[in-house]
Amino acid sequence: MRRSVYGLALLGALFVGVLAVWGWKHLRSASQYHREIARYTTAIERDRNDAEAYYERGAAYYDEKEYERAIEDFDEAIRLCPEHAEAYDARGRAYHAKRDYDRAIADLTEAIRLEPERAAAYEGRGSAYGAKDELDRAMADFNTAIRLDPRCAPAYTGRGTVHSVKGRYEDAMAHLNTAIRLDPKYAPAYYNRGNVHYRQEDYRRAIQDYDKVIDLDPDYMLAYYARGLARVNLAEYDAAIRDFSNALRLEPDYAEAYYTRGLARYDTSDFRAAIADYNRAIELDPEDPDAYYGRGAAYSCTWDYDQAIHDYTKAIDLDPEFAHAYCARGMAYAYDGDQRPGLARRDLEKALALNPDLKKAKDALANLPPAE
């Protein structure tokens, strides 16, 4: 398969986890957010030219994860005060949260132009570069942020994340531990340290860090998702399914969580529920061959070989080098009531040509009747 069955979230998602607004005050409850929003709305109604009120209301919307509203307020703050470096910084982070990394970089670069000593803007831009897999640029920005502010925990977290992605786990752990020492309540540092443990297959310690993230921020979607992955690797499928469901409660259109929950449900033999999850994953990302492959496997387990063959074929169309899909389709042809050994043999031989070590294909090929 193209990705490991229970692999970590994509690189961009890792750097979304790093994202923070260093130095912003973070409120503790929804009622506090709403009071802040109401207070600044009143200020704006009194003075439509109050750039700072728009900025502060945008910051509250950002903390409430209402990124479109935040961007609208930051737009207005910038229109009223074109030299407002903080507004560019904050709007860049809102674009980052929406995974619009190019706009994020543009805004954070402007914040740096306006305030060249602004450590937070370098940290934010580094996170955006990291999300685009431009790791050397990301590291350069994190280094500058730390030079300007040696206590910038998000920049140490960013450094650690870059080292982790490059497989330098000891360096990654050192930087992430520094971030936690500087700010013991900074959830992304624990999240990314959990990812280092996960990559080293130390799933129990990974779960401990993800637990801490959720304790600090119960709405941290990626922590539920990652904890679910760790629990699957420990065969704790029911707990994993609960975690994936919580991730989807927080981000209902996160295709990867439907896919992984489908895998976990498959592993508990709940094939109909798995198919439902794969259906939704495919709706959200119709170009993902793994989702078709997973749904085909679930259909095979319900003896619906025609539908399974259809899904395996779609997976192969999307990824012609997908050895497991050829193998699975070959086995479906062999098991199907129509008994199509010629098609089965063709697919199994193709699977072995792509992956000569695929034991399942070797065994299935050996069990086929002799070719005529």
pLDDT at 212: 98
* Whether residues 187 and 295 fall in one domain: no
Total number of domains in the chain: 2
Question: Which of 200, 221, 256 corresponds to the end of one domain?
Answer: 200
* Whether residues 19 and 147 fall in one domain: yes
Q: Which residue is associated with the tokens 């699977």?
A: 351
Of residues 3 and 106, which shows the higher confidence score?
106
Instruction: Answer yes or no: are the C-beta atoms of 114 and 124 closer than 8 Å.
Output: no
* Whether residues 162 and 307 fall in one domain: no
Domain extent at residue 361: 287-372
- Candidates 50, 74, 52, 51; CA nearest to 62 is 74
Q: Give the tens place of pLDDT for each residue, 112-130.
A: 999 999 999 999 999 999 9
Question: Which of 157, 180, 200 corresponds to the end of one domain?
Answer: 200
Identify residue 198 by its one-letter amino acid code: Y
* Whether residues 306 and 182 fall in one domain: no
Question: Which of 174, 200, 226 corresponds to the end of one domain?
Answer: 200
Specify if 253 maps to a domain. Answer: no
Q: Is the pLDDT of residue 336 over 90?
A: no
Instruction: Answer yes or no: are the C-beta atoms of 250 and 227 closer than 8 Å.
Output: no
* Whether residues 306 and 192 fall in one domain: no
Cα–Cα distance for residue pair 316/355, rounded to 1 Å: 14
Residue 117 sits in a domain of what CATH number?
Answer: 1.25.40.10
- Length reported for the chain: 372
The alpha carbon torsion through 129, 130, 132, 137 (nearest 10 deg) reads 40
- Asked whether the whole model's pTM tops 0.75, one would answer yes
Specify if 307 maps to a domain. Answer: yes
* Whether residues 194 and 65 fall in one domain: yes
Q: Give the tens place of pLDDT for each residue, 36-63.
A: 999 999 999 999 999 999 999 999 999 8
Specify if 255 maps to a domain. Answer: no
Angle between helix axes 119-131 and 135-148 (nearest 10 degrees) is: 160
